[in-house]
Amino acid sequence: MQGKFADEHAVQYHIGLARNMLAGATLALLPGDPGRVMDLAAAVGDASPLAFHREYKSALARVNGTNVLVMSTGMGGPSVAIGLEELARLGVRQFIRVGTTGAIQPEIALGDLIINEAAVRLDGASTHYAPLPFPAVADHALTGVLLQAARELGVPHHLGIAASTDTFWPGQERYDSFTGYVPRKFQGSMAEWQALGVLNYEMETATLFTVARAMRVQAAAICGVVAQRVETEGVASQAVYKLAEARFQQVVKRILAN
């Protein structure tokens, strides 16, 4: 793989990190929410904070003598793409999105985990890296490790395709927005994705997979279900969030322990 590597002490403009700060970490766990960073880092190892610039909060977790980076990406594809660009320059080669999602299939329960092997590219950021016919596909080996860990732990999980959108409301055909209006191109879209077997809506995975493939690095995604769109347009309680969070922390801790 060819790429532009940053100098050891050169701080990246957006994420506020330099190569020496990562202490050799080549794997990054990527939650969306900055508020989830320290909990996730502490759940998998000995955690120490690194930086907090814009939406990018970061920490190092020491796991069995190896450093793992945990860094938030905020919401949506553009910030994911920026994060990947700058982390790749610092030597990170494996990226695992650890987030939350809304299920669109009736058999998926709140608190279950979804491991996405691919994503429908309803985002815009990924098109700046590859044309739409190019698929948004996870790294098979990294995805297999997540899947095996979930099986070993007996955690309820599902493997399949996500629909990644740039918006939380119209792009996911939610009618509880300020105006209540969904443009015609999205009206009926959820039923179409359901019919095609798509498992969930979220806002980052297609960009993550496409950019990672374009940069020849590895990416995978595991998300906890905090909304069941077959039943309601709303999101679940904090108790469900905590359950989903505990489960994806378990899975990630398991893969790092092996």
Catalytic positions, please? Answer: 14, 86, 174, 229
- Return the amino acid letter for 51: A
DSSP symbol at 50: E
In angstroms, rounded to a whole number, what is the distance separating the alpha carbons of residues 168 and 188?
16
Q: How far apart are CA 210 and CA 121, in angstroms?
A: 9
- Do the beta carbons of residue 108 and residue 225 sit within 8 Å? yes
Q: Give CA–CA dist 111/116, Å, rounded.
A: 16
Other CB atoms within 10 Å distance of the CB of residue 239: 10
**How far apart, in whole angstroms, are the C-alpha atoms of residue 132 and residue 129?**
10
CB-based contact 244:114 (threshold 8 Å)? no
SS3 state of residue 67: strand
